[in-house]
Structure 1
Amino acid sequence: MSTEHPSSAAPAPDVPQIDHEHADVSGGWLRAAVFGAMDGLVTNIGLIAGVGGAGVAAHTIALTGVAGLVAGAISMGLGEYASVRTANEQIEAEVAKERRELHRNPVAEADELAQRWIDRGISPDLARQIAQDLSRQPDEALRMHVREELGIDPDSKPSPWTAAISSFICFSIGALIPLLSYLLGSHSLWLALGIGGVGLFTAGALTARFTRRRWWSTGLRQLLLGAAAAGATYLIGDAIGVSAA
């Protein structure tokens, strides 16, 4: 008769670890930050290319860029705040409407929720049972109805202040990049546009960290879009400068 020591038993197979971590997609900062940085870059690259194409002095180009930075950053911050605040207020109004409906017609609302699940393939008995159980928990029932009927999570609304501050800061940083060479004493338009182009590519590549796309693809896309904007404003500035002369 042989006995095995517990330590000699075969090791348990490794259980694969599943990554369930997700990025925060509802906080409101990422969209505002990316949009702000890209808008700051493209806006000031376009401004610099336009006034530079008109043949104005380097001091005037720098002044135009600084004015564009300040005005654009304030506008972006206020716009993001108003936009997100308005969207949140609309969500709150719809949630309040759904709360009233649940209070007035709880049976009909439970049937409506069950029917949505039945349409998705859940068995009728199970769908109705879950809907009835939820109706006994008003807060959870409200959240579920809002998610199913409006497609939103009432507990995950973005912050208007987060969106505004992110947009303000990132626009300012983006708009500053093509101005750097002028602020440091250079008079070269093409150096400023080149630095702006590097900024566009870098900003686009950095977004790949959040979107999990190829960094060079997103960087090249932003560079081409910015180059198109700069080319258009340069040609307009050149035409106006020549005609005004």
Structure 2
Amino acid sequence: MLSHVERHLVERIGWLRAAVLGANDGIISTASLMVGVASASTSSDEVIVAGVAGLVAGAMSMAAGEYVSVSSQSDTERADLDRERRELELQPELELSELAKIYEGRGVEPALARTVAAQLMARDALAAHARDELGITDTATARPVQAALTSAATFSVGAVLPLLVALVTPAQWASSSIPAASLLFLAVLGAASAKAGGADVLKPTARVVFWGALAMATTGLVGALIGRAV
């Protein structure tokens, strides 16, 4: 008997979002910072120091931000599960009817919906209610540490790219070579993430390149203005 195992692209959303967000932010924020410094100074040392500082600060900020936000989501999920567990202990019949109503709302006949609900609750009542009532599944469960480490690591990978460009480029070219190379990196990242997510390549790539160019142009302009003023 042949078995049919389907792999859905939606299963990649969690790690793909964190990876793309981290790398994208790493490229844009670090490159923008370095362009701003390069526009205000002719010293390559200052540009590189700014890039390294941006990498470290950004990676820590991403890790802390992801950990705090995902931890809040995890706390909410845990509270909902605790409340559902108490309700299952105190009023199992009402919870059975509630689950059956959910299946009825999806088009299942009332008698069959109640049978399905009873069978699922007999196997694992909390898991059935977590999935179908609360929308909590294994693939969507909040994982704070994983999110923090992923964001920090991918941010660092993205931030290293413009930093490497600065290391091999003469100081007088930094204000043009860093944004040009960074936009190329962003385009590759946008296309790769769209491909991994099964989406159209052109729109996500154009979107990330546009916002990256805007961020670097704005920071470069501010850096040039400050450089003239001080």
TM-score, normalization by structure 1 = 0.83
Q: Is the 8 A contact 2:67 2:145 kept in 1?
A: yes
The answer as to whether partners of 2:14 and 2:140 remain within 8 angstroms in 1 is: no
**Residue pairs, 1:16-55, within 5 angstroms:** 20-23=6-9, 25=11, 28-55=14-41
5+ residue gaps in structure 2? none
CA contact (8 A) 1:41 1:200 kept: yes
Q: Structure 1 or 2: larger helix share?
A: 2
Which structure has the larger Rg?
1
Partner residue in 2 for 1:136: 122
**Deviation (angstroms), 1:98:** 0.3
AA aligned opposite 1:191: S
| Structure 1 gap ranges (5+) | 1-16
Partner residue, 1:9:
none
| Structure 1 match to 2:162 | 178
- The two structures, once aligned, show a CA RMSD in angstroms of 2.3
- Give 1:156 shift: 5.2
1:217 aligned residue: 203
Inter-partner Cα distance in structure 2 for 1:41 and 1:21: 31
- Cα deviation, 1:98-120, whole Å, max 9, x if unaligned, reads 01101100111111111222223
Give the 3 Å change call, closer, same or farther, for CA 18–73 of structure 1 in structure 2: same
CA shift for structure 1 position 57? 2.0
User: What residue is the counterpart of 1:57 in the other structure?
Assistant: 43
- Structure 2 CA distance, aligned partners of 1:69 and 1:136? 52
Alignment-mate amino acid for residue 144 of structure 1: A
Of the three residues 185, 195, 215, the one matched with 1:229 is 215
Per-residue deviation, 1:24:
6.8
- Report the CA distance shift for 1:90/1:29 in structure 2 as closer, same or farther (over 3 A): same
Matched residue type, 2:153 = I
1:178 is aligned with what amino acid?
P
How many residue pairs are counted as aligned between the two chains? Answer: 226
Match of 2:141 among 157, 162, 185: 157
Change (3 A) 1:156 1:150: same
What CA deviation, in whole Å up to 9, does each residue of 1:126-148 have, x standing for no partner?
112222333433xx221111222
2:69 to 77, 80, 83: 83
How far residue 155 of structure 1 moved from its aligned partner, in angstroms, is 7.1
